[in-house]
Amino acid sequence: MDKRIGILTYRGDKGFGDPAYLRRLVEEGMAMGVEVYVFSPQDVDVVFRQIKGYEPFGAGWKCKWREWPDIVIDYYRYYPLEKHRQYLPIRQGSLFRFANNRFANKFLVHQLLEQEPELNQWLPETVPFSKRNLGDMVKRHPRLYLKPTNGTGGRSILRIERKGERFLLCGRTKKQGQKNEILSNITSLSQRIKQWTEREKRGDEMFFLQQGLDLNLLDDRTVDARLLVQKDGQGKWRLTGMGMRVGPVNSSTSNLHGGGTALPAGRFLSNRFGLDLAELIIYQCEELALLTVEKLEEHFGQMMEFGFDLGIDTEGRVWIIEINPKPGRDIFRKLGQLERYQQAVRRPLEYALHLLEQDSVVSQ
């Protein structure tokens, strides 16, 4: 029987959030002989059990009523705002079979992983933001990061650097405005951060403080690694690829959406650390990602893919910065690794088909 895969994502007045990727996903589906269409919560007609499904058409999209999908991949980037109110009822109800389980916000994920003795060593110290925690953390770490629990693309992140008695702030607002400031004491720092959290928060999200890592592998630039781990067509975890991201000069983040550029991991790390240490670093990144996904599935059930943001500090030590359940994979396209990019796009589809096959075995 022919299978039908629905891709659930947000579509607002300006269209889909990540149209280039969605376009490629539908095209790869077609090439695999599978029907794939994209839809948003407002396209679901529960009464007649049909979906207004989208597919690429010329430079844009066309839509038509489609049959119900056998399985749905959830690529919706939800955060608690009015425009997303239709998402949760769809995600939490039993309307669809989902290929990927839901995940938690990054602070909760960090708290869960901290309890795993094998993973603890990779995790920077992380605490909720409060005046007291700030006072405590600035004493112990020369730099700190303040981050919102539901952030993406480096938005609303502040780096706090202690220079003698003073504090240097560097960050980017949710509207991409650059923020640089010097504060002369801890009281004004604390007030400024409180103000920042109130202005920058989306819905009722909270902010947390994290030990800041020295990721300046190039002068005045934040550099980190993105590693993509995905389930394959047999349901096994596989390392799809890894690349480095280099932030703009003096930026506190490396995100490609915040102006970062991509570089190949092997070449970059061996230039910086020499071949032997570079190999060891890459090996550690891969091992820790595979170990982490195993632990994550114990908490969240079967997952489909993760993009790991990994810090490699100037000493060559590896850290887990963030684990993204709905990761971008553009880094491979930007690196010109086109086969890898194709694999990164296809694997979720192959895994979704694998789940359907398993369902049919169970029901026979």
Give the residues lining the site for Mg ion (CB under 5 A).
309, 322
- Residue 166, number of CB atoms within 10 A of its CB: 13
147 binds, among Mg ion, ligand ADP, none (CB under 5 to 8 A by kind): ligand ADP
Question: Smallest gap, in angstroms, from Cβ of residue 285 to ligand ADP?
Answer: 14
Question: Which residue, 309 or 330, is less far from Mg ion as judged by CB?
Answer: 309
Nearer to ligand ADP, 26 or 215 (CB): 215
Angle at 162 (CA atoms; ends 160, 163), nearest 5 degrees: 135
Identify what 3 binds: ligand ADP, Mg ion, none; CB under 5 to 8 Å per kind.
Answer: none
Alpha helices in the chain (DSSP H): 19-31, 87-92, 106-114, 131-140, 186-200, 265-273, 275-300, 330-334, 338-363
**Cα–Cα distance for residue pair 356/71, rounded to 1 Å:** 7
What distance in Å separates the CA atoms of residue 70 and residue 68, rounded to the nearest whole number? 7
Beta bridge partners of 209: 127, 146
Distance CA 253, CA 155 (A): 9
Q: How far is the CB of 106 from ligand ADP (least distance, A)?
A: 6
**Between residues 35 and 309, which has the closer beta carbon with respect to Mg ion?**
309
Interacting partner of 151 out of Mg ion, ligand ADP, none (Cβ under 5 to 8 A depending on kind)? ligand ADP
Residue closer to ligand ADP by CB (options 157, 356) is 157
Q: How far is the CB of 174 from ligand ADP (least distance, A)?
A: 10
Distance CA 89, CA 108 (A): 22
Indicate which of Mg ion, ligand ADP, none lies near residue 213 (CB less than 5 to 8 Å, by partner kind): ligand ADP
Query: Which partner in Mg ion, ligand ADP, none is near 240 (CB below 5 to 8 A by kind)?
Result: none
CB of 323 to Mg ion, least distance (A): 9
Distance between CA atoms of residues 233 and 304, nearest Å:
11
Residue numbers at the binding site for ligand ADP (CB under 6 A): 124, 145, 147, 151-155, 157, 210-213, 215, 222, 224, 253-255, 309, 311, 321-322
18: number of Cβ within 10 Å: 17
Please, how many CA atoms are within 13 Å of residue 272, restricted to the half-sphere of its CB? 25
Rounding to the nearest 10 degrees, give the CA dihedral for residues 294, 300, 303, 307.
-70
- Closer to ligand ADP at the Cβ: 321 or 335? 321
Residues with Cβ within 8 Å of residue 245, at least 6 apart in sequence: 223, 224, 225, 226, 254, 255, 256, 260, 261, 262, 263, 331
- CA-based torsion, 349, 289, 334, 222: positive or negative: positive
Closest approach of Cβ 346 to ligand ADP, in Å?
A: 24
In the bound complex, what is the minimum distance in angstroms from residue 129's beta carbon to Mg ion?
A: 18
Strand partners, 162: 167
Nearest distance, CB of residue 110 and Mg ion, angstroms:
13
Q: Closer to ligand ADP by CB, 29 or 325: give it.
A: 325
C-beta of 36 vs 134, nearer to ligand ADP: 134
CB closer to Mg ion out of 106 and 346? 106
Report what 171 binds from ligand ADP, Mg ion, none; CB cut-off 5-8 Å by kind.
none
Q: Which is nearer to ligand ADP, 80 or 89 (CB)?
A: 80
CB of 210 to Mg ion, least distance (A): 12
Q: Select from Mg ion, ligand ADP, none the partner in contact with residue 126, using the beta carbon and a kind-dependent cut-off of 5 to 8 Å.
A: none
CB of 222 to Mg ion, least distance (A): 11
Contact between residue 208 and residue 108 where contact means Cβ atoms under 8 Å apart: no
Task: Work out the end-to-end distance of the chain between its first and last CA atoms, rounded to an integer number of angstroms.
Answer: 15
